Amino acid sequence: MTTSQRFGRVATGVAQKHLDAFAQTTPGVVSAVLLSADGFEVASLQVGKGGAARLAAMGSSLSAIGSAIAKEAGIVECNRMIIESDSGTIVIMTIAEARPPMSLAVIASDASMLGQLLWAAKNCCNAIARAFRE
Amino acid sequence: MRTRRIAVVGLADDASQAFRSMLRILDGRDGLSWSLVAPDAAEVLIAGTQGGDALARGWALTNKPLIAVYEGGAARPMTPYTLHHPFRVMQLLGVLEDVDQALGGAAPEAPRAKAAANHTAWNFAESLRLLARTSAAGNLHVAGSGAERVFVRDDLTVYYASADIVQRLSRQALELPALTLSSAKPPPNFEARPVFELAWFSGWHAAETPAPWIEHTATYRLRRWPDFGLLRGTRDQLALAALLTHGSYSRARLIEVSGQPASMVDRFLNACAVAGVLASTGDAAVPAENASTFIASSAARLGGLIRGLRSRLGLTG
Amino acid sequence: MSETEFKIVFTGPMGAGKTTAIGAISDEPPVSTDVTNTDRAAFDKAQTTAGLDYGRIALDDGVSVRLYGTPGQLRFRFMWDILGHNAAGVIVLIDASQRDALVQLDAFVDAFGGGKRMPIVVGIGRSGEPGALSLDAFAQRLESHGMTLPVFGVDVRRRDDVLLLVDTLLCLLELGDSGRRSA
């Protein structure tokens, strides 16, 4: 079963469009992957096939570990992970109410601004959530 | 150049062809030449299951090495040298090298028949070991009488015994006579169990001293770990298996290095021998390149941790 | 390897019992990172480990033995490397009734060094069940690759069986001293 068959062809297509729009309108976005919680790539942007698959798996592990840590710490929900370095930022954002559960992983260069990046990513996630809520 | 004489029986045409060309490829390697001869002139017999039963059975009564070839989902024969068909030339080389070392080992022991007659405790185990070396005809062999009987299929897939016997088997010697061919069938209430279990415990409980076929001067190693999940292995047994799968030891050296009593080591070697996982390596030790690299780097620092963990998990004793 | 820490990795395909095994010996219920499984065709289980399972055994002198369970699927291979780094030993759990059990055995044993870098003990569940492979098939598979690893039939729901696997790993680690003496 291909990705689009498993996650729904229409919804996947819509998600792809939202990813494209997000990257075009947000400075510094290098690549992005929409991933299922169990590590499959649903849609991706500017990452080669192998790269997208790897990012999806790694993103899901990070996300899962982040949630587990949050739970240990008594934080009810971990919905964002931010990994920052001098040369760039990685954001992994949980998409609320998506069925199946998903996250958006974004890789941004140092040309991005964190606040703007998070805001735009959140909008993108909300739009994707609507597409997959059905 | 050392020459060894090998005979082949019971292999189907394609397997036989493959074997012959592999022998040609391996000829002269490491100063060893393998010459294909008739069985009565051979030092080693390689036997498959496609015929040649009588020959393999006769061979099993001697001390000479037998390489048992098995295929498909059949159980591994309980004899040290086995090959699963189809096998690759490097696998054949490995087995031939082991056989060569075994042949080059200590002086041959006393003739088998005489040894067996002097050790009645070993009659059952010995007969099981012989059965293990011959090819399968699908017959049942039986030892004992009435409810105390044990049936063994000669393809060594299962043995049949009452629940009571199965229980007692792991705790004590059953004192059964040698197995004989039988047309009787096991009663319906008898359980079918893996033969390895029967072989292991028969070997373990027969005596506290070395079996007739254990040579005091030979060095041994294990070709395969016994299934300690099935056998409910103890720490001492695990430790001995760990040693024997990572090096070759004579009986005396094994007692020294393991720090275990001679009776324990003897039981272990006996059980492994009857179960067909013990290989004699002649006088030569296993070459160093086979040793795992972790052996050099672990232990000393971990000693205290290992003791602590064992204690915490209740694994002492 | 740290002087005061010691970690054991449990690995193997999905459904082989890694989380159960860790739970059987960990001081507290293991931390798990289960997520919704979207690939029910590959394995019909509602949840799957995306990160790791984590358990711990505290020893008397303040030292800890850390227990890690890896995710089972090949796409999480990078986690096997991360979790396997500096591990004292690895326990590979395989379900003999799974269709590709032998291939799985090869993959996990190979990924963790084939028993050379650190000791590996293999626990086979459900062997001998109708339709499942025999234990012999797994041992024979490893032998054909030149490996003589402990391969035991176990049920990881039984604590004693998990302890057997751990004890065997410890015996292999203890070879370090005696192994050198016999050279």
DSSP letter string, B27-38: TTGGGEEEEE--
Name every residue whose Cβ is closer than 8 Å to that of residue C170 and which is 6 or more positions away in sequence. B306, B309, B310, B315
| Cβ within 8 Å, pair C123-B247 | no
Round to whole Å and give the CA distance between C164 and C170.
10
Instruction: For residue range B258-306, list pLDDT tens digits in order.
Output: 999 999 999 999 999 999 899 887 654 444 444 556 665 555 667 788 8
pLDDT at residue number B296: 56
pLDDT at residue number B111: 41
pLDDT at residue number A115: 94
By the 8 A CB rule, do B238 and C171 touch?
yes
**Residues in chain C where the model's pLDDT stays below 50:** 1-2, 178-183
Which three-class secondary structure state does DSSP give residue B66?
strand
| Residue that wins the pLDDT comparison between B110 and C27 | C27
Q: What pTM, to 2 d.p., does this model score? A: 0.84
User: Residue C118's closest chain B neighbor by CA?
Assistant: B294
Round to whole Å and give the CA distance between C180 and C183.
5
Residue C153 lies in domain: 5-182
* Statement: residue B317 has pLDDT above 60: no
Instruction: For residue range B171-196, list pLDDT tens digits in order.
Output: 998 889 888 888 889 999 999 999 99
- In chain A, what residues touch C36 (CB-CB under 8 Å)? 36-38, 100-101
The answer, yes or no, to whether A and C have at least 3 beta-carbon pairs within 8 Å is yes
* Statement: residue B108 has pLDDT above 70: no
Closest-CA distance, C77 to chain B, in angstroms, reads 22
pLDDT at residue number B135: 52
Query: What total number of domains does chain C contain?
Result: 1
Tell me chain A's radius of gyration from C-alpha atoms: 14
Look-up of token digits 């998506």 = A98
| Cβ within 8 Å, pair B247-C170 | no
**Multiple choice CATH, B210-317, 3.30.930, 1.10.1660, 1.25.40, 1.10.10:** 1.10.10
Name every residue whose Cβ is closer than 8 Å to that of residue B227 and which is 6 or more positions away in sequence. B196, C135, C151, C152, C153
By the 8 A CB rule, do B70 and B85 touch?
yes
Question: Residue A44 CB: number of other CB atoms within 10 A?
Answer: 23
| Residue that wins the pLDDT comparison between B255 and B135 | B255
What ranges make up the beta strands (E) of B124-268?
Answer: 140-143, 150-153, 158-161, 180-182, 191-194, 219-222, 249-250
Question: Residue B158 CB: number of other CB atoms within 10 A?
Answer: 17
Which three-class secondary structure state does DSSP give residue C8?
strand
Residues of chain B with CATH 3.40.50.2300: 2-102
Instruction: For residue range A90-131, list pLDDT tens digits in order.
Output: 999 999 788 889 999 999 998 889 999 999 999 999 999 988
pLDDT at residue number B142: 92
By the 8 A CB rule, do C85 and C116 touch?
no
Best CA proximity match to C102, nearest among C69, C155, C143: C143
| Cβ within 8 Å, pair C73-A39 | yes
pLDDT at residue number B295: 66
If you average pLDDT over residues B104-132, what whole number do you get? 62
pLDDT at residue number C180: 42
CATH assignment, B2-102: 3.40.50.2300
Round to whole Å and give the CA distance between B274 and C164.
23
Let me know the angle formed at the C-alpha of C144 by B86 and B247, rounded to the nearest 5 degrees.
140
| Residue that wins the pLDDT comparison between C63 and A14 | A14
Instruction: For chain A, give the mean pLDDT.
Output: 90
Side-chain half-sphere CA neighbours of B259 within 13 A:
9
* Selected residues 215-244 of chain B with any CB under 8 Å from a CB in chain C: 222-225, 227-230, 232-233, 235, 238-239, 241-243
- CATH code, C176: 3.40.50.300
By the 8 A CB rule, do A25 and A11 touch?
no
**Residue of B88, B238, B278, B307 to mutate, testing the C interface (most C Cβ within 10 Å of its Cβ):** B238
By the 8 A CB rule, do B56 and B134 touch?
yes
pLDDT at residue number A76: 82
- In chain C, what residues touch B310 (CB-CB under 8 Å)? 167, 170
Round to whole Å and give the CA distance between B224 and B277.
6
If you average pLDDT over residues B69-97, what whole number do you get? 84
Name every residue whose Cβ is closer than 8 Å to that of residue B77 and which is 6 or more positions away in sequence. B68, B70, B132, B133, B156, B276
Round to whole Å and give the CA distance between C36 and C98.
21
ipTM of the complex: 0.92
CB of A63 within 8 Å of any CB in chain C?
yes
Question: Residue B15 CB: number of other CB atoms within 10 A?
Answer: 19
pLDDT at residue number B116: 43
pLDDT at residue number B112: 42
- In chain B, what residues touch C134 (CB-CB under 8 Å)? 73, 75
**Which candidate from C143, C154, C170 shows the least CB-CB separation from B310?**
C170
By the 8 A CB rule, do C151 and C122 touch?
yes
**Residue of C91, C160, C167 to mutate, testing the B interface (most B Cβ within 10 Å of its Cβ):** C167
Instruction: For residue range A40-83, list pLDDT tens digits in order.
Output: 999 999 877 778 888 999 999 999 999 888 988 998 877 899 99
Instruction: For chain B, give the mean pLDDT.
Output: 84
pLDDT band of B109, cuts 50, 70, 90: very low
| Cβ within 8 Å, pair C36-A57 | no
| Cβ within 8 Å, pair C38-A53 | no
Cα-Cα-Cα-Cα dihedral of B101, B103, B108, B111, to 10°?
Answer: 130
Residues of chain B with CATH 1.10.10: 210-317
pLDDT at residue number B128: 86
pLDDT at residue number C54: 92
**Phi, psi (deg, nearest 5) at residue C57:** -125, 115
